Every structure is written in structure tokens, then in C-alpha cells.
Amino acid sequence: MWRWIGFLLAVAAGIGLGLLYGWVISPVQYTDTAPDTLRADYRADYVLMVAEIYHHEHDPSLAAQRLAFLGSEAPSRIAAEGLDFALQHGYAPADVAMLQELAWALLTWQPAAGGVP
Amino acid sequence: MIERPESPRRGGHWYLLTGLLIGLALGLVYAWKISPVRYVDTDPAALRADFKDQYRLTIASAYLATGNLARAQARLALLQESDPLQAINDQAQRWLGQGKPAQEREALLALASALRQSQPAAVSSPSLPNEPSLPAQPGATDSLTPSASGRASSAQTPSPSATPTRTRLPPASPTPRPTHTPTPTPGAPFRLSSHQTICDPALPEGLLQIEVRDGSGKAIAGVEIVITWQGGEEHFFTGLKPEMGNGYADYQMTPGVLYALRLLPASTLVTDLSAPSCNDQGTEYWGGLRLIFEQR
């Protein structure tokens, strides 16, 4: 009986060590990540880049294509998230204005058939 | 019959080690396979190579739209590449080979050119290396800018957004405007100043070498060259082989084919270009040409 208890305690200790090693000491390394895992501030800055380009070329279709880089969400939603972030974190007024311009344009933009959803 | 009590000595304590190893294996399977660490707040430096290319292109396009080189440099720094300029040149070269749209290559080359021209200034300016890279705080040069996020980030990432407090940025941080960037005389035509035949068996046969300089003799990167022949046309740029010089470009001519060449936006049209026949100690081979253009 004690032998079984000792065995199970050893198993539990081993699991604990395994988790410690696998999660803390040597976790799975991600080096080839996808853009949808980017941290919120980096995402917002990417959206700002797209807004800067949009402010120059006024092509919502291209802007939507560029925003698709950040994931499969609707471009208008990605732009709106970027704008929210900028407003919450006090981006410069000129940058906020460009983000607003982009978000508004994508809100009213209708993708062509086969385009970015 | 005498019943023998269970004795640890019979199997020793191996059962403990066995249990430990089984547990360890189970723990690792769980930690690495079933529920591995998930990265949800990654930084651009961890992106896959093709995503980095896209990120770099967006930086270049944004630079082309705004002319804000300081911001473009800060964004490029997020990719944590040892030589961002080389990375851009490499990408432009690859994209040229892959037939990507010309405006994308032009954006990359414009940023590469601006970076190259800004390098001496950056080295001589003592304030620039200490400036924070602030893509997450795009309004940094304007005024007080709060951090973008207070979340924990990986320790090795010098993220500007790691501090959850308002940070006053250097008020005198220079934000070079596009008009400050020295550029070749815009719109001035290029003139062919030298046309040489090169007979060098060490060079590839039919190599057409082009060098483009401005009025002061300084090499110019990013100049678009158009070469045409019967039934074909190709565009390429100077500066894609920085090891050969910023104003250098080359093209592999097919022996026996006549080419015409011009530079954009305007240059003299050079016609009847073809690989010359050379002779090296009785051995015939195809030589090359070297054209030098200067801006007037």
C-alpha cells in the first residue's frame, strides 16, 4: 500500500518537474509567429501605418488588403480597434485623425466580389 | 506458513524513480504538446520571414506617404535586424526577381535610399542613439505621449510601451522632414558620359554594367532603368547591389541581341547595345559593356 502511495507521489512530482521544465525552463520557442499574435500596441502602430498610406492614396481596397495582414477580422473592425487604442493612449491628434479617416472609410466601404471580406 | 511482510528491499526504491520518470514524461507531454506556452503578445521581431517582408513593405509605403524617416527608422528597429538597410535591399532584390509590383519595389528603394543618405548624419548626432524607438507612440515627437500598453513584454525587447506611465520624450528630438533629405536634382535628365567595352574573361559574358551619378559625381541609388529589345522590356534599379556601389546596376545581355536603354524619368536613349566579341589569347568570348550616366 505505501509502495503505491510512494509511486503515485513520485509520478506527481515528475509531472510537476515536467511542467516546470516545459513551461518555465525550456518552453516551446516561437520564432515564426503570425501577425495576429502581435501585441496590441504593435497592432495599433501597424494600423497607423495603413492609415498614413490611406491618407496619401485614398484607396480603401488597398487599405483593407493591408489590414488583412493582422488577421481575419473585418478590416473596419481592425481599424476601429486601432483607433480605440490610439484614443486610449493619447496618440498625437494628427495620427488620431488619420486613424479616424481610415476607420470611417472602411466602415462605409463595400468590398468588391472576391475582395477582402 | 509464515507471511512475509512487504519489504522495500525486495524491489528497492526503483519504483519511486520509475514513478518520477513517468510523471516527468507526462508533464513534458502536457507542457510541450497538449498545452504549450502560447504567445499572444509577440513583437514584430518574432514574425515569420515573409510576414517581416510585408511589415517592412508597409513601413516603406508609410514612409513614402509621410516622408517621416525618423518614424520609419523606429519601426524598422522593431524588427531587430542587424542591418535594416541590407534587409531592405535584399527584399527589393528578391521582389524584383519575383516580379512584385513596381510601386512596392520603389517604396522599398526610396526608404533604402533615404536610410543610406541619413546614415552619416545619424552617426554624427549624439542624441539619436539614445532616442527611444517609438512606433507604439506615434505622436512622440509632438508632445507628452503615454505609453501604449502596460502589459508585460519579453525582457529582451526594448519596447517603448513597457512603461505604463506618461513619459516626456526629448522635446528636441529631430524629426527629419522629407525636404531635409538630400536627393539628386529631381527631374534633371541623365546623360551618357561614358560607354566602354569590357573584355574581361573573369566577368560573366554579356554583362552590361551601369553606373549612375548625380551632377557632383555621387552615386545615386533607386534610379529606374528600362532596357528593351525586340519583343521584350525589363525594368531594374540601381543600388540593389550595394557592395558594387549605390549607383550600380547590371543586366545580363544575351549575345547577338540588340538592346536599347534609358533611365527614368529622363535620359539620353542608348541604342544598339550588344555583347561585344572579345579575344583572349586566341580564345573568343563575349565581353560586356559599361555605361556611366551623369545627371545634369
Per residue, what are the HEC states of chain A?
CHHHHHHHHHHHHHHHHHHHHHHHHCCCCCCCECHHHECHHHHHHHHHHHHHHHHHHCCHHHHHHHHHHHCCCCHHHHHHHHHHHHHHCCCCHHHHHHHHHHHHHHHHCCCCCCCCC
> Which range has the top average pLDDT, B58-72, B132-146, B261-275?
B58-72
Q: Give me the pLDDT at residue B165, please.
A: 34
Question: Same structural domain for residues A44 and A28?
Answer: no
Question: Same structural domain for residues A102 and A52?
Answer: yes
**Is the pLDDT confidence value at B231 over 90?**
no
Question: Same structural domain for residues B131 and B211?
Answer: no
Instruction: Assign B160 a pLDDT band (cuts: 50, 70, 90).
Output: very low
Question: Same structural domain for residues A47 and A85?
Answer: yes
- The partner residue sitting opposite A16, judged by closest CB among B27, B61, B141, is B27
Question: Same structural domain for residues B199 and B110?
Answer: no
Residue A28: list chain B partners with CB under 8 A. 32, 36-37
Number of compact structural domains in chain B? 2
Helix or strand holding residue B92 (H, E): helix B84-97
Mean pLDDT of B3-28: 75
Give the Cα separation of B163 and B140 in Å (integer). Answer: 14
Q: Which of B54-63, B112-121, B181-190 has the lowest mean pLDDT?
A: B181-190
Asked whether residue A117 is domain-assigned, the answer is no
CB contact under 8 A, B31 and A13: no
* Closest listed residue to residue B29, CA positions, set A69, A46, A70, A15: A15
Residue B44: list chain A partners with CB under 8 A. 38, 42
Residue A114 is placed in which grid cell? 472576391
CB contact under 8 A, B62 and A38: no
- The string of pLDDT tens digits covering residues A59-115 is 999 999 999 999 989 999 999 999 999 999 989 999 999 999 999 899 888 776 554
Mean pLDDT of B242-260: 86
CB contact under 8 A, B145 and A92: yes
CA of A100 vs chain B CAs: smallest distance (Å) = 15
In contact, B65 and A52? CB cutoff 8 Å:
yes
SS3 call for B64: helix
Asked whether residue B284 is domain-assigned, the answer is yes
Domain that holds residue A48: 35-108
Quickly tell me which residue has 472602411 as its cell: A106
**Torsion B122-B115-B240-B273 (CA) sign:** negative
* Closest listed residue to residue B144, CA positions, set B180, B168, B179: B168
Amino acid A64 reads: A
Question: Same structural domain for residues A28 and A62?
Answer: no
As a whole-number percent, the residues of chain B with pLDDT over 70 amount to 71
Asked whether residue B1 is domain-assigned, the answer is no
Asked whether residue B34 is domain-assigned, the answer is yes
Q: Higher-confidence residue: A34 or B55?
A: B55
Domain that holds residue B73: 27-135
- In this structure, what are the phi and psi dihedrals at residue B42, rounded to the nearest 5 degrees? -85, 170
- The partner residue sitting opposite A22, judged by closest CB among B32, B46, B140, is B32
Give the Cα separation of B19 and B21 in Å (integer). Answer: 5
Mean pLDDT of A38-43: 94
Contacts of B116 (CB under 8 A, 6+ apart): B85, B221, B239, B242, B246
Report the mean per-residue pLDDT for chain A.
88
Question: Same structural domain for residues A79 and A91?
Answer: yes
Question: Same structural domain for residues A49 and A23?
Answer: no
Strands B288-295 and B207-213: parallel
Bridge partners, B190 (sequence order): B267, B295
